[in-house]
A and B are shown apart, each in its own frame.
Chain A
């Protein structure tokens, strides 16, 4: 499964960010989400959901082999990760996020919860 992004449908509501942080950290804190929304306002008036496209560059760059492909998604093993930040630096799409209280960088694991709450078709689950 993958997440298809149709940015023209995004309204910037951040429900995806909320459910993501709840799902992965058990907290009400969208800043701990693996998805963020870029807002270009006042012109041209565009929201762009940003999340991992599963390109694997982070796995190649990880110096301690903490990242591996599990199913369709690259996953960070928190037991191995040293939070060195190299994966964040090399990410070509700036979609590995950091939060002061998170033990590792935050990246999408394709849990699909965001696609379940999105009501506009901006995020949909596809095979």
Chain B
């Protein structure tokens, strides 16, 4: 099959049995890759009552149709499972070079089943596939281990690892690769750890079969030449995502001190400009990407060892930096390094520590809980102490290892009101009190409050920041855009920032595979994925769906106390209005449950049957569901 590696692997971690099957073309066409493969496979295979960290959960690793090809930044690989943070569908992807290497070895998906009796790592060298002992590696930091495995196996192996946090089941543990690229969200690292899978090492030397190489080559070559001179190319190359630290503060959406306010005094000290000036070592790209948003840095803090880290990028700066009250780029880079090496998502990790700092400020967490240490805003030593407690799940670290929702449930005392999460996943680095579409995005997301499910900040600006009207349909459209990139597995930056159209990417898929694929077909796959993972969440957690689409009280009720967004809040009434509007426009009932009609339109009648059996199928629409579900809007780049 053109465009793909050709083989799916199933590995029983308990018995060591490895099964190879050809990748069915129907499966590939209907789901395209990573996020699609995960959505279908996890829905079909994981029992609804399976413990996310138990033997019945599966862990999937899958690149997509464009990974490893000469498509713009065809670098991505997805991981998926049931999330220990949300108890729902999970998928998280990363760039780097692992996905391409996996395709060159000839594989489109690996499904890890059951639990290994001993720590192991997966070794793939083209057709040689082995589970090897990881006894010597267990306990090592993610970055330390990647270096060790490169020394042990060879520089040309691509490596993915987990750190101690993943071994210990911290629900926001990540999978790390290429010294700083992470599948960070949903706790995929914890599921990998639960399977006693410490690392994955892949070397592939084969060619990816292609339908029309000359046209594919010319198309990408022309896109390269055209985008080289795009006005946003240079700033992106220079600063990466950290470019937007200033923008977010100017627009009142930057989280400061656990989202207490949305303008961070001292943001200039943790800006992209400061990064480039003080700590940048080199620019670092993922496979096949000429934007090179990755910034590789060295932090120097008196009394601590010099460290190298990829980043900090925007989300890390916002959540380890702003939300934890930091104003020094060296501190943020050091926090980034600690999270990476311990194997923790910098986003949920930074968010959770910001939450803990507010608990400390309010006297809910005390020095007694922190082994005699303090937990002060902006203090890197305090940050390091509590982070290590979390990775080890020691003392208060055990409480915080469950994320902000789990911690708030254990701590009580009104802490849930300032736990910035949805469905158990922490907010990304955007406060939403002046950005109601973004709040709707966070709260209706299948995996929780992740900005990459749909980023609606500029849509809010375009539609109007003071109104809830017209937001829902646009959020749905944006929610359908992201799965394109998460299934194709090319980076979305070319679309979002330098004017490569989604249709151009679709054309590339055609040149690669020979399929007569269209943009509309891909958008329908996106909608299918959203409906499938929504249904899956409801099936696992019990309906109605609406009860899970909940916003933190601070975002609804507390007015922003300072900065450009001063006085803003979303308000309960506006939020409920947007939910009603959203469900209607999705073809779901007012309880947020998918209807049979919409599921059948999307080719998911069996999902409707399953929901019906569980008493969770949406009430039918009297006049039928809306024919067009989602309204096209491509917000301008920032």
Contacts and interface: CB of A to CB of B under 8 A. Distances in A.
B243 to A, nearest CB: 16
Interface in A107-122: 116-120
B143 A45 contact: no
Interface in B401-452: none
B12 interface: no
Nearest to A12: B285
A42 B155 contact: no
A116 B143 CA distance: 34
Contacts of B221: 19, 116-117
Interface stretch (A20-28, A68-76, A82-90): A20-28
Contacts of B179: 41-42
A126 interface: no
A11 to B, nearest CB: 4
14 contacts: A11-B282, A11-B284, A13-B290, A14-B288, A15-B288, A28-B70, A32-B207, A39-B155, A42-B147, A42-B308, A44-B308, A119-B228, A119-B233, A120-B283
Contacts of A77: none
Interface stretch (B292-300, B364-372, B481-489, B549-557): B292-300
Interface residues of A, number: 34
Contacts of A100: 205
A46 B207 contact: no
Contacts of B100: 30
Contact of A15 (B205, B290, B298): B290
Contacts, number: 95
Interface of A: 8, 11-15, 18-19, 22, 25-32, 38-39, 41-47, 99-101, 116-120
A101 to B, nearest CB: 8
Nearest to B281: A45
A45 B284 CA distance: 9
A26 to B, nearest CB: 6
A48 B297 CA distance: 17
Contact of B296 (A38, A45, A117): A45
Contact of B213 (A12, A22, A43, A46): A22
Nearest to B221: A117
B205 A26 contact: no
Contacts of A47: 282
Contacts of B298: 45
B206 interface: yes
A13 B289 contact: yes
Contacts of B228: 119
Contact of B70 (A18, A25, A101, A118): A18
B205 A31 contact: yes
Interface string B139-165: 000010011000000010000000000
Contacts of B288: 13-15, 18
Given A13-B286, A42-B308, A119-B290, A29 B206 contact: yes
Contacts of A31: 104, 204-205
B217 interface: yes
B68 to A, nearest CB: 7
A67 to B, nearest CB: 24
B119 to A, nearest CB: 23
A27 B625 CA distance: 47
